[in-house]
Structure 1
Amino acid sequence: MPQLHAQPYDQNAIGFYFESAEEYGNRAKKNRNANGDPVEEYEIQFIDGDDIDGALAKAWGVNQVNIGGYFKACDEWEDYQKKIFIIGVGEIGCGFDPEDVHPEEFDVDLYHVNSMKELAEQMVDEGLFGDIPENLERYIDMDAVARDLAYDYTETEIAGETLVYRVS
């Protein structure tokens, strides 16, 4: 589970670390500033955890209102779902309901390749141009195919992994 920090906007208050929405809620209720007043507003910061969860926090725009949905997604989603969300929201700019979001809502086709050229090679191998005789395979310009694919596909990096995606 990721570790986050609640940094008070109140300069007379001290923040706290937490690892769940429940822990955040309990600690926030008890937190007081130097004058004994309750602390009401926090900036939520990702501190530690898997890189994918850090990227998810950034795309999610984690704050004190939507933190429950973020922790639920960290706990329940597979990494590929997190990547689709990060692309859908963080790169494409789709909106979402933090209390009821499903990564499948974002029409993103995800390819685990390191470059557009690798995607071109994969697609040719899978029959993009039909069956190609072996003696002609070496004449296909994979760089040109990759350039053509770049009109519909985008290369990105998420949590240190290069991916190529297309919006369906």
Structure 2
Amino acid sequence: MKINSIGLPVAESEVIIVDLNVLLSNFQVYYQSLRGLHWNIRGKRFFDLHLKFEELYNDAQIKIDLIAERVLTLGGRPLHTFEDYIKFNQLTVGKNISNDETGIQLIVTSLSQLLRIEREILSKASEINDEGTNSMMSDFIVEQEKTIWMMKAWLEESL
């Protein structure tokens, strides 16, 4: 079995690299949807949601960089074209959303899909003791689960 410079099996790491690039692509689409929500939100909750969407897209931008750096750490090359992002995207694209509830529901749906991808990566990384990827996925999962809970609480309140 061939081992890379950080002590992980090369073949299994290559599988995780592909999955991380899928996650990267989906995060890029999520990020852009958040930017659209930030720009287009209307209504009485504008001020609160405008700031919240900015907070979320800034967080997504940090995660995008972390994912790309993990791909590089594992010996891969991060995807970086819109063509690739669209090819591997599994999320609903938020386009021209100005309604608060529609925007929040898009975030819940997007984060739920990102969690599915992250849990798959976590499972594969655990099999090869890839603690770096595990740690990153665990951190993402904990934070996103809490965000979903908060967004769902907001949706209940606004019904």
Bin of the TM-score, shorter chain as denominator length:
under 0.3
Give TM-score, length-normalised by structure 2: 0.25
The one of the two structures with greater contact order (alpha-carbon pairs below 8 A, sep at least 6) is 2
- Give the structure with the larger helix fraction: 2
Give TM-score, length-normalised by structure 1: 0.24
- Give the structure with the larger strand fraction: 1
